[in-house]
Amino acid sequence: MPQKIMNLKSINLKAIAFLGLLFFSFITIAQVTIDDEDNLLKESDFSPEVLKATTMTKDGRLKIDGVAAVVGDYLVLESDISKAYIDMKNQQVGEITYCDVAETILENKLFAHHAVQDSLPFNPSRVESFTDQQIDQFVRQVGSMDKLLEFYKIDSESELRDQLNEINTQRMLAEEMQGSIVDEVEITPEETRDFFEAIPKDEIPLINDEVELAQIIVRPEVGEKEQQAVIDKLNFYRDDVVAGGSFATKAVLYSEDRGSRSQGGKITLTREDNFVKEFKDAAFSLQEGEVSRPFETEFGWHILTVEKIRGQQVDVRHILLYPEISSEAIQKAKDEIELVRKKIVNGEVDFKEAAREVSDEMETRESGGQLINNATGDRRFELTKIDPTLYDQVINLKENEVSLVIKDSEPRTAKIFFKVITLTKKIPEHIAEFSKDYTKIRELALQQKKLTEIKEWKAEKVTDTYVKINGDYKVCKFAKSWIKQ
């Protein structure tokens, strides 16, 4: 799968490298018309960004000065590639050349272009939510929004947000296109075995240390008084909105949903999107302009208004509040899980039985607290790839040992909970074996098949997409397959 290349326009590259982010390409989006004979842009087909890199001719057209390539509706400047190359070098991506960077950028633009051409379903709220998460992360790293804007030499938060939204839109379009190409690709057991047997003996992959984990979670109970206080507050907001107040303003001021708060609580969703049932039921039961009564989900209490209905897609705004948890409730939850841990350690109850009886995590409760690796779909977690916080919590555990009680919080809502973890199985580093590591081998075989599918798609689309490669990049090896003869 080609590495994703993203556009950060004028944001300082060294600052990004410092923050550990891979914003590589600095690509300008523009719809252009090229005169193949004299390498000129028609006079009306340029954006301000392109104008900075061009020279006007006597007849009012623009000489492409520094335009490295055009792919469909996307323009790539030579400076895009140079800056991306420097950034990747600074972040020690590995041995790369300017041609490598150029090819990766062009591939990414090809995917994004055809995602638009094919009108693939695209959820703008995903972009806004991801941008919110990025900005929250940046602010935590540098200390404040003012410091962040000063760091990047940007005038306002809205300007930063616009630039990041553009980056993320383009990246997600490319991802959608790649996903649609390989969506129906499957692998059979026979193909998996053929793949494994074709690997030379001295190239069979090494499987790193892996673990299987289970956990029990206990959340503090919310008192009726605290719960009613939140409901009353949401009803107060609702009454004000119904009387003509701004829902978006209230979401910015009061919502505790970090992902949508800065966008006035706005979320775009379809029935197929991965939202909890109660939220989708509310979103698709209202007419435009209606405001829901307070309703509860696993995240807390909400009110929601439908802003726009577009076929199977709706734009909503919501306000999320969660009740204040008393110190007594927090202590009670901690005492409860301490007692559960003591019973497990003393052999009075086994971990799975305890999880089924007391765990508040519905997703794992019935399986005895067994965690599933979302990336692979199986129980194994490669130690070097798990979340650093989780790594610290399990690295010193022996098989079937139970951790001390851990205080944690939900990443989206910051709600406190307590947990204990056990390491149910440890698989030491070893050379891959077909039967023992079938799931991983199958995944490798499937990835290779998907890469082949993408390669074939790219070869086909390059022939029927407008592509122009200029200057030194014409001599890159990849250019032969991109330039029409």
Query: What CATH number was assigned to the domain covering residues 13-183+459-482?
Result: 1.10.4030
Averaged pLDDT of the chain? 83
Pairing type for strands 210-218 and 416-427 reads antiparallel
Residues 34-43 as b/e (b if ≥16 CB within 10 A, e otherwise) read beeeeebbee
Tell me: pLDDT of 29 over 50: no
Q: Looking at residue 4, what is its pLDDT?
A: 31
Q: pLDDT by residue (tens digit) across 433-459?
A: 999 999 889 999 999 999 999 999 999
pLDDT of residue 93: 67
Common-topology check for domains 210-220+326-431 and 224-321: yes
Q: What is the pLDDT of residue 177?
A: 95
Average pLDDT over residues 172-195: 94
User: Which amino acid does the sequence have at 419?
Assistant: K
Residue identified by tokens 């919080």 is 409
Report domain extents, the chain: 13-183+459-482, 210-220+326-431, 224-321
pTM of the model: 0.61
Distances in Å between the Cα of 25 and the Cα atoms of 9, 77, 85, 88, 356 are 8, 9, 9, 10, 49
The pLDDT score that the predictor gives to residue 260 is 85
| pLDDT in the model for residue 275 | 87
Is the CATH number of domain 210-220+326-431 3.10.50.40?
Answer: yes
**Which residues are CB-neighbours of 379 under 8 A, at least 6 positions away?**
212, 370, 371, 372, 373, 425
The 10s digit of each residue's pLDDT in 42-86 is: 444 444 444 444 444 434 444 444 889 999 988 888 888 887 888
What's the Rg (C-alpha) of the chain? 27
The string of pLDDT tens digits covering residues 208-249 is 999 999 999 999 998 899 999 999 999 999 999 999 999 999
Reduced to 3 DSSP states, what percent helix, strand and coil does the chain have, rounded to the nearest 5?
45, 20, 35
Cα–Cα dist 246/291, whole Å: 12
Alpha helix positions (H), 118-204: 124-142, 145-152, 157-182, 189-197
What is the pLDDT at residue 7? 31
369-382 pLDDT, tens digit each: 999 988 788 899 99
DSSP run (H or E) holding 405: none
Lowest mean pLDDT among 83-92, 324-333, 432-441: 83-92
DSSP secondary structure code for residue 172 in this structure:
H
pLDDT in tens, 97-129: 899 999 989 999 999 999 999 998 877 777 887
Residue of 162 and 34 predicted with greater confidence: 162
Q: What is the pLDDT of residue 426?
A: 94
CATH number of 224-321: 3.10.50.40
